A and B are shown apart, each in its own frame.
Chain A
Amino acid sequence: MADQDNGWKFAQCFGDKGDVEEVTEADIISAVEFDETGDYLATGDKGGRVVLFERNEGKKGCEYKFYTEFQSHEPEFDYLKSLEIEEKINKIRWCKRQNSAHFLLSTNDKTIKLWKIFEKSIKVISESNLQDAAGMGGFTDAHNLKLPKLVHHDTMIAAIPRKIYQNAHTYHINSISVNSDGETYLSADDLRINLWNLNISDQSFNVVDIKPVNMEELTEVITAAEFHPTHCNLFMYSSSKGTIKLNDMRMSALCDQHSKLFEEEEDPQNKSFFSEIISSISDLKFSRDGRYILSRDYLTLKVWDLNMENRPVQTIAIHDHLRGKLCDLYENDCIFDKFECTFSGDGSNLLTGSYNNYFHIFDRNTKNDVILQADKSAFKAKRVGSTKNKVGGPAGNGKKAGTGNRKEDFANVDALDFTKKILHASWHPRENTIALAATNNLFLFQQS
């Protein structure tokens, strides 16, 4: 029998592993992102902190260790609008490395910050003029003047905000994306997309503005935006109506006119009160070669070919079993959950999350859909050891037996815990290693 998990195994878990019912709100992870080498991994949480992990070279296989942590955003209050600005990190994006330091952008609802993380050597002064003045007999002779001597004391990892880009967004920022030209990035809120130069924090250019003159005529909002991985002039954004627009910045300064519109015509038979809500795109990504677009809406995952606008090349049902429960999900607001999606480094696999800490890894070529669960049972199973796996048996605690049931468990709507969901995930750019945020835990899975 072929391995149902397709070789995917739990690798690591960070965060509080105890069975605590009450999770501190601030500890909930709200962003996960590998850097371009995959040697570093960043997470952001609702408490405004960014935690970095570094690949542990000593171990074989892919293991990460804590690297550093810093407070990226603080709660603020906008006195003019009487509005509280949460410190929650909405997105993290790494910048291309330009020296031994690391640079990343982090954003909350309103303010984007460029962080520099580097190893700082702390030096202390061992000799100086005033300190040693007594022994030298004063400053009568210029020969007695000396330059301060420094000795290495310690090395620490420091994080400093290099630039703070603020006051450019009236609405909540949902995406940031660094351009391939290495010089600019975009930030998107509900109604506008701005273009920034990384070196200039006091001005940005508005490239998309969908705000109607009269706010009562508002019918859609921007839900996500991303730059093309190689063409610096292309970017795309998705809307709550389920459309994806591709824009070319060469055409015009204000990109009101899209150059491509990706939209699938809806089957009128399926139309219901929830149609518009569930068709809203929660996340979208370019494949690394820039040929395909991956989009996620509430029930499905879609792959679009950049050259075909009228329908996706692939539609993968993720939440078909929830179709009958939309009413309840609307009641408890879960229908508005924004699940992220991601391509694997080579573009052959797709990853997205679901409820009850389940997540999907979908192989585009074999159409094999692996469902895994990022929860305590995953690492408990590992700890208990492999003996049980071999025994297997009807007890169902063993690994293989467990997977056998997983697909059924997954579709067993009434048993799902809707408070546990995998919203944020990132795929290692070169290997089949994935990082997932499950409430306050960071999980790493690997394909062996």
Chain B
Amino acid sequence: MNPEEGDEALYPIAVLIDELKHDDVALRLNAIRRLSTIALALGPDRTREELIPFLDESIDDEDEVLLALAEELGAFVDYVGGPTFAHLLLAPLETLAGVEETVVREKAVDSIGKIVAVLSQQQVEESYIPMVKRLSASDWFTGRTSACGLYAPVYSLALPQTQELLRSLYSLLANDDTPMVRRAAATHLSKLTKKVQKEFIVSDILPMFVKLAEDEQDSVRLLTVEDLIAVAESLTTDENKTHLLTILQSLCYDKSWRVRYMVADKYVQLGKAVGNDIVREVLISAYVRVLKDGEAEVRTAAAGQVPGFSLLIEPDTVLKEILPCVKDLVTDTSQHVRAALATQISGLAPILGKDNTIEHLLPLFLQLLKDETPEVRLNIISKLDKVNEVIGIDLLSQSLLPAIVELAEDKQWRVRLAIIENIPLLASQLGVEFFDEKLGNLCMSWLGDCVFSIREAATTNLRKLTEVFGVDWAKQAIVPKILTMSTHQNYLFRMTTIFSITTLSQVANADLLKEFIIPTVSTLAADPIPNIRFNVAKSLETVIPIVRKYAGQDPALGGALEEVVRPTLVKLSEDSDQDVRYYAQMALRVLQG
């Protein structure tokens, strides 16, 4: 081999290695990101003996670099020589798990979790467990916080006596002086619970959980709702009744709204976990309480759980207990509560059945449709398909349309946008006749909206409507209106014409292409505004492949390509405007194939 070549080949690696300690953070970061390249060049032996100790000893002080390192090390097993040596990676990761920046610590814990999966039992006992012990007993809370995340991944890999040790160590963390550590312990307890054998749940896990759930800091208590679910899932219904009932009640009625919020937010999961008996005895009345909570945030979360929770209980109970609360929420003072309810309330329709829906829910829908906040009206409209399935479109459309028309002219363009996005769905539910009569004009008027995003959405809307109602409908309903716009004196309208034609071409058939799309575009090619002209070229670029696809069915289309499109593009490619020429050439290239 030519020495010069060898020199060349390793030079970049040499530079990269030097950059591990470069003054410039960006270069250090880049070097860490390419750590695998360095490790490959050094080979597994030197990676183990030199690179890994080096990374551990000369820990960087930039969080960004540390974060990258923590991430790279998680996927480094192959570079140190496979699983046999994987435990060597734990040393630098242990250091990273103790730094002050939370994201770095979390990433390090993640990576340790990846590595432990490939470790042998011996490696676990000799390397991993000592690391867990050290971190769990470290002086600063940062290490102890990270330690909490290391128990669940290793638990099922450890020997029985080690598992016992792990459980007792975790209990120390759950009783730590620092709230940060107790929070971490509460966060990870649910994962550990899922790994621990059933016989230890009541004896070991439950006391920790109870301690955390009764913590004086509400920031700790609120994290125990997840744990409660995990514990409840691993116990039998009877055990749940004996052990969890009081704690469940105290969490539901906690003084802190943040705890009640967490409970409300996880209510369905909670209900499923504790079983039907407790749901009936405790959770229904507690749910009524959270639906009437003094704090709007709690009510918002609770409103989101209405259909899910109603599925868990008898329809009669829903009518008797839940529905009265829902009625109150419809007129809640907080718009966020009403908005959350509007998204969910239609989910009650299938549970209650047609008659009850008509009797009880429809008045609520109507009220929400008339809500003063656009977001609420929007949420209810976008979920109406479920109700439609239950009560049928006739009943719905009578009350629905006025609200839609009103929203379609809302002052806020985002609201108009959301309505447009819902139109195709509505169209499919309403049917052609009804749509033409009530909404046809509305859809066309959006093409002339003063906000570009609305005009853009309106063109997409036309395409989707064509998909729903078919090309023939488009020919009758859309084409004439677009044609009138193509001669509008405001160039923005003409621009919209091109855009809608381009979008429509995607769903067009041969006739539409021949009779409408190609002629209209070609006419606009002579427009005095260069913006229009280059958009014509861009449009043709999209249209040409579609035309070609149909040319087999209709030879006249192939002719149109040569006789109309090509001359148009050639003319545009000699345009006085540079952009027009550019896009015309692009389109010509497509035409050339």
Contacts and interface: CB of A to CB of B under 8 A. Distances in A.
Contact of A150 (B7, B21, B256): B21
A129 interface: yes
**Interface size for chain B: under 10, 10 to 19, 20 to 34, or 35 or more residues?**
35 or more
Given A250-B258, A251-B257, A182 B20 contact: no
A236 B99 CA distance: 33
B102 A199 contact: yes
A211 interface: no
B100 A98 contact: yes
Contact of A148 (B3, B11, B21, B61): B21
Contact of B257 (A129, A139, A183, A250): A250
B62 to A, nearest CB: 10
A233 interface: yes
Interface in B11-38: 11, 13-15, 17-18, 20-21
A327 interface: no
Contact of B13 (A145, A231, A233): A145
B3 A253 contact: no
B179 A129 contact: no
A131 B15 CA distance: 10
A231 to B, nearest CB: 8
A250 B256 contact: yes
Interface string A131-155: 1010000111110111110100000
A252 B258 CA distance: 8
Contacts of B297: 253
Contact of A140 (B6, B41, B42, B254): B6
B476 interface: no
B369 to A, nearest CB: 28
B218 A148 contact: no
Given A199-B102, A233-B218, A250-B257, A147 B20 contact: yes
Contacts of A250: 218, 254-259
Contact of B14 (A99, A130, A182): A130
Contact of A125 (B21, B61, B183): B21
Interface stretch (B50-58, B422-430, B556-564): B50-58
A142 B43 contact: yes
B294 interface: yes
Contacts of A140: 3, 6-7, 10
Interface in A1-52: none
Interface in B474-500: none
Contacts of A142: 10, 13, 41-43
A252 B296 CA distance: 8
B217 interface: yes
B414 to A, nearest CB: 22
Interface string B106-143: 00000000000000000000000000000000001110
A232 B179 contact: yes
Interface in A213-251: 231-233, 249-251
A123 interface: yes
A325 interface: no
A289 interface: no
Contacts of A129: 14-15, 17-18
A128 interface: yes
Given A148-B17, A148-B21, A181-B179, A138 B7 contact: yes
B219 interface: yes
A411 interface: no
Nearest to A125: B21
A286 B256 CA distance: 22
A181 B295 contact: no
Contacts of A181: 179-180, 217, 219
A117 to B, nearest CB: 12
A391 interface: no
B296 A130 contact: no
A98 B141 contact: yes
A148 B51 CA distance: 10
A196 to B, nearest CB: 14
Contact of B7 (A120, A139, A232, A249): A139
A99 B259 CA distance: 30
Contacts of B41: 142, 145
B367 interface: no
A156 interface: no
A105 to B, nearest CB: 15
A317 interface: no
B178 interface: yes
Nearest to A142: B41
Interface string B192-228: 0000000000000000000000001111000000000
A101 interface: yes
Interface string A70-103: 0000000000000000000000000001110100
A231 B20 CA distance: 46
Contact of A120 (B61, B99, B255, B294): B61
A130 to B, nearest CB: 6
B180 A139 contact: no
**Interface size for chain A: under 10, 10 to 19, 20 to 34, or 35 or more residues?**
35 or more
A127 to B, nearest CB: 10
Contacts of B295: 251-253
Given A139-B11, A147-B17, A233-B256, A253 B296 contact: yes
Contacts of B3: 138, 140
Interface in A177-209: 180-183, 199
B18 A130 contact: yes
A139 B58 contact: no
B587 to A, nearest CB: 45
A101 B179 contact: no
Contacts of B183: 183
Contact of A252 (B11, B51, B257): B257
A145 B6 contact: no
Interface string B126-165: 0000000000000011100000000000000000000000
A260 to B, nearest CB: 15
Contact of B179 (A133, A183, A249): A183
Contacts of A99: 98-100, 140, 142
Contacts of A144: 10
B254 to A, nearest CB: 8
Given A99-B142, A138-B3, A250-B258, A232 B178 contact: no
Given A182-B179, A232-B219, A145 B14 contact: yes
Given A98-B100, A139-B14, A232 B21 contact: no
Contacts of B217: 180-181, 232
A190 to B, nearest CB: 26
B10 to A, nearest CB: 3
A144 B46 CA distance: 12
Contacts of A199: 102
Interface string A164-176: 0000000000000
B58 A128 contact: no
A65 B290 CA distance: 57
B142 A98 contact: yes
Nearest to A148: B21
Contacts of B296: 253
Contacts of A233: 218, 256
Contacts of A101: 100
Contacts of B51: 147
Given A97-B140, A253-B295, 16 more contacts: A99-B98, A130-B18, A141-B6, A141-B10, A146-B17, A147-B17, A147-B20, A150-B58, A232-B179, A233-B256, A249-B258, A250-B254, A250-B256, A251-B294, A252-B257, A252-B295
Shortest Cβ-Cβ A-B pairs, 8 listed: A250-B256, A139-B10, A129-B14, A140-B6, A138-B7, A148-B21, A128-B18, A99-B140
Interface of A: 97-99, 101, 116, 120, 123, 125, 128-131, 133, 138-142, 144-148, 150, 180-183, 199, 231-233, 249-253
19 contacts: A99-B100, A130-B15, A130-B18, A131-B18, A138-B6, A140-B3, A142-B13, A145-B10, A146-B17, A148-B21, A150-B21, A181-B179, A231-B216, A232-B219, A250-B254, A251-B257, A251-B294, A252-B294, A253-B257
